[in-house]
Structures are given as structure tokens and as C-alpha cells.
Structure 1
Amino acid sequence: MAQDAGWGGGPYGGAPYGGAPYGGAPYGGAPYGGPPGGPPGWGGWGGGWMPPKPGVIPLGPLRLGDIFNGAFSTVGRHGKQLFGIGAAVYGGALAVVVAAVAIGYSATSGHLDRMFSLGSDEDPRTDDWVPVVIALCSIALVCLIAAVLSTALMYAAVPAVLQEAVLGRPTTFSAVWRRAWARVPAVIGTVFLTWAIAMIPLLLAWAGIIALMIGTIAMDGGASIALVVIGIVGAMATAPLAVWLWVKFSLAPSAVVFENQGPIAAMRRSSALVRGDWWRIFGISLLAGAIAGVASYLIQLPFSFIGMFSGMLGSANLGDDPNPASIIVAMSGYLVVMMIGQLVSQLIVATFPPLVTGLLYVDRRIRTENLGPVLAEAAAVPPQYTG
């Protein structure tokens, strides 16, 4: 049975093994009675010592190749847990959304039929369009809740798998699920606060753009040109601030799971770890997102072609004046194929970037808090002498 220990007292957080935080004297002291910074080679790769590699990464400062190799290795070794949880989470969310759409359509089908049968010069009645709007708002709310919950579960599940992958220990679907589910409320709070803070500059920019559009319509001449300039400058000034805040708090979900932190504490932790290495974290995170985006696009391509072919076959049987129900039935093949493609591609997007972010979190703690020897002790693998 894979270990399912609480990590608040293990090598990733708290005071492990009964000592000070991170396995020895606090933050850069002398772990295990050795010289400050640990054995030669742990902090600076010198002295003939090489960091061991019990799991998917060497337990020393990570290079770009180490991070991406570690992410791919984690997918290879723990793919069943990662994709199994992803399939359960997103498959369940998709089933809930489909059920909500089916219930909403069954409750408003009569109103929809009357609205679609109206002529171009006729307006829908209030007792027809109000139930439809209520149904659409209810479906949108269900979609939002399903998206938030599924995203939070994946943000918690990926670091839970990575904890064991770094130490080279096996884990199980049930252990990861329990660990992830326990941290979902804190992850939701962290993600919400992070996006809320990062979105403030963008919302201000959008408010400026809307004001610009209104001003352009209402005014002319020099006033419109001035508003255009102000809108462009505002967008250019606020977008970089939003990106800076996003990177600053990007390690917070990992801190929530690795260290059992609450949302505010995790965001402070992320800010401290990112300090001094913002550009590197930004570049690696951007590269990970680009790789996941390209992979997602390539995965969806064949599903798109199959869906278009299925949709053409279904629409060929429609009459001259089809009702909404017959249109939905005719396009059901296309919708099912596209949803399957979206589900498969979403598994990649929701797995790979968080793995890279989690490894960046481990790397920053290795570099700034000498976490490597503690992880080596937890994995029961001593440093290897090469000279």
C-alpha cells in the first residue's frame, strides 16, 4: 500500500523527523550536523558529490531539461493516477453539464418551439423568453461550479502525485483522490484569490476600453483620439502588471498541497519563493503552457474532422423546416465527438503545466531552503560520490 501520510510533518513542510524546519537547522543551517548548506555539491554541485535521483528528478538545483524530463517522467510513471483522476473529474463534470442541458431543454422545449416558429416581424412573448433565460442562467451556473470544482481537484491531484514521484515512491488512485479532495477548499480559495488579484488590472483595462468605445460613439475629433491613446496606454500598463501578479502567485496551489497551507499563507509562500527568480519561472511556465496548447490542438484535430463528417451526415436528413429537437438529434454525433476530443485534450492541459509548476516549486525550495538532503533522507537514498 502506498504511503498516504500527511505532508505537514514531512520533507515538504513543517518540522520533519522531529528537527527544525526542512530537516535541520532552519533555512540554510547545518542539516544532520554537517557544514552549512549540507554536503559539498548539494548547493553548488561541487566537491565531487552529485545529488541522487530516487524519483523523477535529481534532488539538486534543477535545470530546464530536468524540469521537463521530470514532468514527462511523472506522466509516464503515474499516468494511471493522473489521467484516471482527470478522466473521473472532467468526465463527471461533463456528465453534470449534459444532464443540466437536458433538464433545461426538457423544461423549456415548448417555449423554444414557439420562439423558433416566430416570423421576422414578431416578438417573443414574455412568458416564453423568461423561462428560457432562467434555464440558460441555471445551466451557466452549473457549468461554472463544475469547472471550478474540476479545476481545483486537478490543481490538488497533480501535486499530490508529484510528491511521491519526486521521492520515487508508488501511489494509488484512492490515496491521491483522498489527498486531493482534502485540499480542494484551500485550492479553490487560493485560485480564486490569485485570479481576483491578477484580474483587477485587466478589469480596469476593460473598463477603460468600454469607456473608450462609449466616448468614441458620443464624441468626435480630438476627444476621440485622446480616449484611444488613453485606452491603449492603460491596456499596455495593466496587462504586464496582471502577468507579474500571476507569476508571483503561481506556486501557491503547490504550497497548498505540499505544505498544507491555507490560501493566504500559500500566496505569501509563493511570493517568497518566486522572489529573485521571476523571469525564469515566467519563461518555463510559458513554455509549458505552449507545449500543452500545441498538444491539445493536435489531439483535437482528428476529432474535429470526425465530428464534421458526422455532422454533415446528420444534417443531410433534416427537412426544410426542422424544429430544435430534430437539429439537436442530427448534430448529436458531432457534439459527442467534439466533447470527447475536448475531454482528452483537457487532460493534457490540466496535467502538464501544473506538473511543471510543481517542479518549479520543488526547485525553488531546493535552491533557497536546502531541501535536497531532506528529500534524500525521506527517499532513503544517500548522495552519490563521483570523484
Structure 2
Amino acid sequence: MNDSPGWATPGSSPSDGEHPGASGEQPQPPSQPADAPKWSAEQPPPGQWQSPAAGQNPPPPAQPGAGWGGYPPQPPPHGGQYGPQYGYPGGPGQWGQPPAAKPGVIPLRPLGLGEILDGAVATMRSHWRSVLPITLVVATVVQVLSMLVQKFMLEDLTSTLDRENPTPDQLLSAVGGALPVTAATQFIDFVAGVLVTAMLTMIFSRAVLGRHSSVSEAWRDARPQLLRLIGLTCLLAVGLILLAAVLILPVALSRNPGLLVLGSFLWLGLAIWLGIKFSLASPALMLERSTVFKAFARSSKLVSGAWWRIFWITLLTAIITAIFAAIIVLPLQMLGFSAFGDGLDSMQDPAAQTAWGPLLLTAIGLIIAQSVVLPIQSGVTVLLYVDQRIRREGLDLELARAAGVENYGTTGG
């Protein structure tokens, strides 16, 4: 048995934006390999979605041409089309169809925006014993290290700066001295983000099946892919930096304000486009146990034709989490400056920003906020990945089988 607790490597799948059976042809049963349609015959033999609890019998080993977890692939339900059964946008829909199975935090059908957000929150609420320790510990470590870096590195910079009339040399020195501080805090955030993303992805993958996962299980499942996830994240960052070097640096050197604005907007647009295009690479890497470049290709394929939908869902999630974080952090930050400084006016004083009181209360607010924000962001990304695979590849059939849902996808419901 494959001991991978992640998701099956998809192999060949239907064309982007199409569902099996959409042309009106009835798929052949798996017992006819010679004439079997492409969507079922090329289901991946090596992978599986399974994370059996202790004491459960493992699924049978995968056979050639088998689907998720080694079981024979099944044709699409209800006339060979996903649309009539689920009624998702683009499908005609039918009244009186049985509701989709819901073994875990989401129903096994194409998801709407509310269901994706609700699934992320439901996982955080019902699996808090696994989610909260990960995010709380990581957020605490990140904020403590960031607070120490800001305290001892920025304090030296502000002490040498003339607050009333800083000279150009002083400002240049302050900017140059702030770069190591920024680099250090960004590196801390980067490592923490990779660790949280890896472990939460495994928790969400089990929550979809209605299974709980402990912190130790999440770490065990995520650890083999950590280096690849670091490489994937680094490649994205390097790509954005090189893109900035090509589009912004030349016009910045020319000192033409108009070209600088144009280059900045062009870079921002391309950065957003690439960010959404490869937004599903992380769950593809972790759950399909793939390589870095295969994960990029998978994300590009899954996002194709749904870029705007994923963009709006991602943007809405970012806005919601930013508002929540601001509600938590800003009051504590203002309290810190009011109680340990000279009131809110001291928020503009560089020396007051490195005082222990404001730094400590701000760090506490960020710890609370990140403990909630990180699971929601990771959960939305994982559920977007699940949703796209359900829409394009009929993943719900394999999820239902892995979750033990009987007679799912058959004509009898």
C-alpha cells in the first residue's frame, strides 16, 4: 500500500473547463478497458487519498487503470454529466436531485463562495485542537523574534537620526540600515508561512473526508514535502524580484516619473496574474506528492478558465482577514502608544515605535490575529484546489469512496 497520506497524482484528466460526458456520450464501465473513455482509463495508478485511522483496514493496492485509492473508476452520475446533478454555475440543474454527500466540512460537489469560506471556518472550529496549537506556536515564535529584531536593530538606527532635521546622509543610512531588519523579519515570516501552510494543508485534506488529524500526524505527513515547498515558494519570490528588475529598475534609473509609474503598474498586474495562476501550486505539491515544476503546471491547468473566479475569492478572503486583523491589532497598538508613550502622536516618533510597551502589545495583537487568519487563508486555498478538481476531474467520486460513502454517484443516489 502506498503510505502517502495525501491526494492522488491526477495523471490525465478531461480538457480544461469540460466535464466527463459533456459531449453526450455515455462512458463505458471500467470492465471495458479497450473502449473506456479517456477520463476514466487514465486515472492515476500510483496515488491515493487515504489517511486511515489506527486500527482501520487499508484500502486495496492500486491496480492499473484504477481510480482514487485503487478502486475502479466510476462514470459520472445521472446521465454522464456533473451539471444536472449538482446545478453548479454553468450546469442546467434539476429539481428533486438528492443532496450531495457531506462526510466532512464541505459537500462533495462544486462549491460556492460561501461554502468555501464556511468550510475553512468550520475546519478551524471543529479541528481547533490541531489547528490552534500550530498557528499559535508559530505566530508566537514569529512575533517574538520580530519584536527583538525591531527593538535592538531599529533602536540603534533611530538613536543616530536627527528627528527634527535629518540630513540626506542620515536618511540614506537609516534606509540602508533598515534593509537588514526588513530582510530578517521577512525571512522569519517566510519560514513560518511555509511550515504553517504545509501542516494546515494536511489537516484540511483530512477534514474534507471528516477525519481528524493530530499535530504530530500533520507534521509527519507534511515533512517529506517541506523542502520542495520551500523551493516552490522561493521560486515564486525570485520570479517576482526578477520581474521587478526587468520592469521597474531600468525606468527607475532613467528618473522618469511617468515611466516609473507605468512600469510599477505593469509589474503589479503581472505579479497578481502570476500569483493567481500559481495559487494552487502549494496544495498540488503537498497533496499530490508532486515535484515543484509539476505543481506549477497543475496549478496553471486547474486555474485555466477560472482565473477571475479564483481571483475574486482570494481577494475577498484577503479583505476579510485584513479587516479582522486590523480590528484586533490596531486597538492594542494604540493602547501601547497611549499607555507607554506620549499618546497617539507618538505613533510617528521612531523612538516610541521601538519602546517595549508598544512593541509588546502590538505583538500580542498580531499573535491573536495570525492564529485566526492563517488557517482561513490556508483553508480557502486548499478548498479552491478541491473545488477545481471536483469541477474538472470528478474528484468528488474518489473523495466519497475514500470517506466510505456508500452508493455515491450511482443512479439510485
Residue equivalent to 2:272: 243
Residue equivalent to 1:88: 137
Residue equivalent to 2:239: 197
Any unmatched runs of 5+ in structure 1? 125-129, 217-227, 316-323
* Residue-by-residue CA offset, 1:248-305 (whole Å, 9 max, x unaligned): 1000011121111222111111011111111111111111111111111111132123
CA drift of 1:102 comes to 7.0
Q: Which amino acid aligns with 1:246?
A: G
Whole-Å Cα distance in 2 between the matches of residues 194 and 309 of structure 1?
Answer: 40
Whole-Å Cα distance in 1 between the matches of residues 151 and 261 of structure 2?
Answer: 44
Whole-Å Cα distance in 1 between the matches of residues 100 and 274 of structure 2?
Answer: 33
Whole-Å Cα distance in 2 between the matches of residues 336 and 352 of structure 1?
Answer: 25
The alignment-based identity, stated in percent, is: 28
Residue equivalent to 1:255: 284
Residue equivalent to 2:364: 340
Residue equivalent to 1:185: 227
**Structure 1 residues 52 and 43, CA gap change in structure 2 (3 angstroms):** same
Q: Which amino acid aligns with 1:160?
A: M
2:5 aligns with one of 4, 7, 13: 7
Whole-Å Cα distance in 2 between the matches of residues 273 and 22 of structure 1?
Answer: 22
Give the SS at the match of 1:281.
helix
Flag the structure with larger Rg: 1
Any unmatched runs of 5+ in structure 2? 11-43, 49-60, 86-93, 345-350
**Structure 1 residues 252 and 156, CA gap change in structure 2 (3 angstroms):** same
Whole-Å Cα distance in 2 between the matches of residues 121 and 253 of structure 1?
Answer: 45
2:327 aligns with one of 273, 277, 298: 298
Whole-Å Cα distance in 2 between the matches of residues 261 and 197 of structure 1?
Answer: 20
CA contact (8 A) 2:123 2:204 kept: yes
Q: Which amino acid aligns with 2:287?
A: F
CA contact (8 A) 1:51 1:58 kept: yes
Aligned length: 348
Q: Which amino acid aligns with 2:249?
A: A
Residue equivalent to 2:106: 57
Residue equivalent to 1:221: none
* Residue-by-residue CA offset, 1:13-36 (whole Å, 9 max, x unaligned): 84335145772699xxxx7464x3
**Structure 1 residues 284 and 311, CA gap change in structure 2 (3 angstroms):** same
CA drift of 1:75 comes to 1.5
Q: 1:225-244 alignment to 2 at 5 Å?
A: 228=258, 230-244=259-273
Residue equivalent to 1:67: 116
CA drift of 1:188 comes to 1.4
2:192 aligns with one of 128, 144, 150: 150
Whole-Å Cα distance in 2 between the matches of residues 10 and 147 of structure 1?
Answer: 30
CA contact (8 A) 2:47 2:69 kept: no
1:174 pairs with 2:216: yes
CA contact (8 A) 1:273 1:365 kept: yes
1:267 pairs with 2:296: yes
CA contact (8 A) 2:142 2:188 kept: yes
Report the RMSD for the aligned CA atoms in angstroms: 4.1
Whole-Å Cα distance in 2 between the matches of residues 32 and 210 of structure 1?
Answer: 59
CA drift of 1:344 comes to 1.8
Whole-Å Cα distance in 2 between the matches of residues 65 and 43 of structure 1?
Answer: 20
Q: Larger deviation: 303-312 or 7-16?
A: 7-16
CA contact (8 A) 2:6 2:202 kept: no
CA drift of 1:182 comes to 3.5
**Structure 1 residues 21 and 348, CA gap change in structure 2 (3 angstroms):** farther
Whole-Å Cα distance in 2 between the matches of residues 335 and 196 of structure 1?
Answer: 31
CA drift of 1:41 comes to 8.1
Q: Which amino acid aligns with 1:187?
A: L
CA drift of 1:95 comes to 3.2
In the superposition, the TM-score normalised over structure 2's length comes to 0.70
Q: 1:105-124 alignment to 2 at 5 Å?
A: none
CA drift of 1:313 comes to 7.1
Whole-Å Cα distance in 1 between the matches of residues 295 and 205 of structure 2?
Answer: 17
Q: Which amino acid aligns with 2:207?
A: A
Q: Which amino acid aligns with 2:217?
A: A
Give the SS at the match of 1:55.
coil
In the superposition, the TM-score normalised over structure 1's length comes to 0.75
Residue equivalent to 1:219: none
**Structure 1 residues 21 and 260, CA gap change in structure 2 (3 angstroms):** farther
Whole-Å Cα distance in 1 between the matches of residues 343 and 243 of structure 2?
Answer: 46
1:354 aligns with one of 357, 367, 378: 378
CA contact (8 A) 1:71 1:355 kept: yes
* Residue-by-residue CA offset, 1:169-200 (whole Å, 9 max, x unaligned): 01112212333344322111111212333444
Give the SS at the match of 1:18.
coil
Residue equivalent to 1:18: 62
**Structure 1 residues 87 and 167, CA gap change in structure 2 (3 angstroms):** same
